[in-house]
Chain A
């Protein structure tokens, strides 16, 4: 099975986010980026399928700060080929990211057709769209999002997909291949790869660079204002030692008839 994984970088929210000087976008100058969490799960699911049935996995991402680290890590984990799409605007919106990737994929040497394209079902910056359905539609592939399980026999032309619904209910779907899946989580958490392996990959492996084909689409929205939510303003904060606060809470609950 030939699998393509699409990876995308998003702001790392471990670091404090700051609003840029324009007041309507994130200040990316000092912002570290990290691979989108559900994309990392998509990579894991691809590697699980490869471990199970053989085949090849290609990882592709737009060229963004730290993307080489992400792609070398993917190579160290077992990806066969890494491709970065260069000459793109790093401040791409999700809608443009999807569009640029869809337009560029046919231009990547020896890549298409693949049996399966997997990526994350969402990213924390998906304000104006999601990459997975945009690429699926542009390539004319069937699409399923919120995927939590993929089962496909090595040479089968169909896959059985599990999707997640509320309350722990899972929906089972069948889809012909090739297809594009937006992963919510992989069957198991993304694997660890020893740093020595990543460093070895950095020395021995190559990341292919492919210039972006086509243009980002104009986003059809205006951000008037961006600000950090005043998160702590709602809750009334209790003070004191854990024991003192626990006593206050006990009184609060008693007053409401909860104990």
Chain B
């Protein structure tokens, strides 16, 4: 796990770029030894005019305005690689980059259209794809197990399952939803969802440099969560997990938070006997940035995969702390055309190539953004007939089939 994240105090709340150096966390940034590992480990480091090292150098020189005038930080996919590798343990992705990205965003002469639309949609409809909020739980119509929606049945519940956007609306995300519901049901978990009341947890809005949108979403969601009684929040979203864990306590949300995969891994003794069908797959697992590097949950997803009879787990050359971002974080989900126009490689292409090189026939993932990104790359690279992309719950549910 990254240094400094074990006990996150409410450093996020009162920090701004102007007050950064009045705060111990900010002053600590000045202890940077200018080694440049951050730039070296950044997946877009070669394309970044101002990697963290240079930002800190400019900060020391009082020349941050120059950094803000550049669109350099639009290349930051908030993957926590620089922070994980920093020998000084500086909280780059947690503290420095969001503040700089906010200034970058404000100064952009033109916001890439795709990103603008996603942000406008998130504000208005609570999801970046601009789908109807009322249809957020439409996927439950095709699920075999009963799913309780708290608004219509607000009795206390053990697990509040925060489904998140891509899982709710994207056809491939919905398949992971059906799988997750099936596993909850099979484990006899008392669970419920927010349904149409749910909206985006906002982590990407914050990390693309639109913290005001994040604040608005967070206030709404905390008010919503306060309406219901539940023991823990379990989310399908790796980014939502991160946000609930580190950013929501500022507003008084303190209930336990888990990702579906860590939750299921914690119930593996009861889950494993249900995994009856042999799946003859060579599976490689892509550590998502939020779940892996930022929270150190490297082994739980793997424990789920190895519990499936027949599955052989193989590793990509970059794994665990060295995993390469899918390119979807920090707003990258809506910057593909922008990156393309700049001539950058797709990070998801790089990653899918690694999966293919590892000889995997399934690329297993734990973040809702990854399925569509990697499936696109599978098509781009021509591995459709040899490589499948699966959310881990999909594999678990498949193994539970009679």
- Are chains A and B touching in the complex at the 8 Å CB cutoff? yes
Q: A14-B125, A14-B132 are in contact. Are A199 and B216 (CB under 8 A)?
A: yes
Residue on A nearest B211 in the bound complex, by CB:
A196
Residue on A nearest B115 in the bound complex, by CB:
A192
Residues of B within 8 A of A188 (CB): 110
Residues from 240 to 274 in B contacting A, C-beta threshold 8 Å: none
Judged by a CB distance under 8 angstroms, whether A194 is at the interface is yes
Give the distance to chain B from A10, nearest Cβ to Cβ, in Å.
Answer: 14
Give the distance to chain B from A15, nearest Cβ to Cβ, in Å.
Answer: 5
Check B212 against A15 for contact (C-beta < 8 Å).
no
Contact with B along A18-49 (1 / 0, CB 8 A): 00000000000000001000000000000000
Check A192 against B116 for contact (C-beta < 8 Å).
yes
Range of interface residues on chain A?
10 to 19
A195 to B110, CA, bound (A): 16
Judged by a CB distance under 8 angstroms, whether A57 is at the interface is no
Residues of B within 8 A of A192 (CB): 111, 116, 119-120
Residues of A within 8 A of B175 (CB): none
Check A194 against B210 for contact (C-beta < 8 Å).
yes
Judged by a CB distance under 8 angstroms, whether A257 is at the interface is no
Residues of A within 8 A of B216 (CB): 195, 199
Contact with A along B207-226 (1 / 0, CB 8 A): 00011110110000000000
Judged by a CB distance under 8 angstroms, whether A229 is at the interface is no
Residue on A nearest B134 in the bound complex, by CB:
A15
Check B119 against A199 for contact (C-beta < 8 Å).
no
Q: A14-B130, A16-B134, A192-B120 are in contact. Are A198 and B113 (CB under 8 A)?
A: no
Residues of A within 8 A of B130 (CB): 14
A189 to B132, CA, bound (A): 23
Judged by a CB distance under 8 angstroms, whether A53 is at the interface is no
Give the distance to chain A from B383, nearest Cβ to Cβ, in Å.
Answer: 16
Give the distance to chain B from A244, nearest Cβ to Cβ, in Å.
Answer: 15
Residue on B nearest A197 in the bound complex, by CB:
B212
Residues of A within 8 A of B110 (CB): 188
Check A194 against B212 for contact (C-beta < 8 Å).
yes
Residues of A within 8 A of B125 (CB): 14
Judged by a CB distance under 8 angstroms, whether B123 is at the interface is yes
Check A196 against B212 for contact (C-beta < 8 Å).
yes
Residues of B within 8 A of A195 (CB): 123, 210, 212-213, 215-216
Give the distance to chain A from B204, nearest Cβ to Cβ, in Å.
Answer: 14
The majority secondary structure among interface residues of chain B is helix
Judged by a CB distance under 8 angstroms, whether B105 is at the interface is yes
Residues of A within 8 A of B105 (CB): 194
Residues from 177 to 226 in B contacting A, C-beta threshold 8 Å: 210-213, 215-216
Give the distance to chain A from B127, nearest Cβ to Cβ, in Å.
Answer: 10
Give the distance to chain B from A131, nearest Cβ to Cβ, in Å.
Answer: 23
Q: A192-B119, A195-B123, A196-B212 are in contact. Are A15 and B113 (CB under 8 A)?
A: no
Residue on B nearest A30 in the bound complex, by CB:
B134
A40 to B218, CA, bound (A): 27
A196 to B123, CA, bound (A): 12
Check B213 against A194 for contact (C-beta < 8 Å).
yes
Residue on B nearest A198 in the bound complex, by CB:
B212
Judged by a CB distance under 8 angstroms, whether B30 is at the interface is no
Residue on A nearest B122 in the bound complex, by CB:
A195
Give the distance to chain B from A194, nearest Cβ to Cβ, in Å.
Answer: 5
A194 to B210, CA, bound (A): 6
Residues of B within 8 A of A189 (CB): 113, 116
Most buried by A among B124, B130, B131: B124
Judged by a CB distance under 8 angstroms, whether B106 is at the interface is yes
A154 to B120, CA, bound (A): 32
Q: Which of A14, A16, A199 contacts B212 (CB 8 A)?
A: A199
Residue on B nearest A13 in the bound complex, by CB:
B132
Check B215 against A196 for contact (C-beta < 8 Å).
yes
Residue on B nearest A199 in the bound complex, by CB:
B212
Residues of B within 8 A of A16 (CB): 132, 134
Residue on A nearest B108 in the bound complex, by CB:
A192
Residue on A nearest B131 in the bound complex, by CB:
A14
Residues of B within 8 A of A196 (CB): 211-212, 215
Q: Which of A14, A194, A198, A199 contacts B106 (CB 8 A)?
A: A194
Give the distance to chain A from B389, nearest Cβ to Cβ, in Å.
Answer: 16
Contact with B along A196-222 (1 / 0, CB 8 A): 111100000000000000000000000
Residues of A within 8 A of B106 (CB): 194
A16 to B120, CA, bound (A): 19
A188 to B130, CA, bound (A): 21
A195 to B213, CA, bound (A): 5
Contact with A along B94-135 (1 / 0, CB 8 A): 000000000001100011010010011001110000111110
A130 to B119, CA, bound (A): 31
Residues of B within 8 A of A198 (CB): 212
Residues of A within 8 A of B123 (CB): 195
Residues of B within 8 A of A199 (CB): 212, 215-216
Residue on A nearest B214 in the bound complex, by CB:
A195
A192 to B111, CA, bound (A): 7
Give the distance to chain B from A228, nearest Cβ to Cβ, in Å.
Answer: 15
Residues of B within 8 A of A14 (CB): 125, 130-132
Residue on A nearest B135 in the bound complex, by CB:
A16
A188 to B111, CA, bound (A): 12
Sorted nearest first, the 9 A-B pairs with minimum C-beta distance are: A196-B212, A195-B212, A195-B213, A192-B116, A192-B111, A194-B212, A15-B132, A195-B216, A14-B132
Q: List 11 A-B contacts (CB under 8 A).
A: A14-B132, A15-B134, A189-B113, A192-B111, A192-B116, A192-B119, A194-B105, A194-B210, A194-B212, A197-B212, A199-B216
Q: Which residues of B contact A (CB under 8 A)?
A: 105-106, 110-111, 113, 116, 119-120, 123-125, 130-134, 210-213, 215-216
> Given known contacts A14-B125, A15-B133, A195-B212, what 9 new A-B pairs fall within 8 Å (CB)?
A14-B130, A14-B132, A34-B124, A188-B110, A192-B111, A194-B212, A194-B213, A195-B213, A196-B212
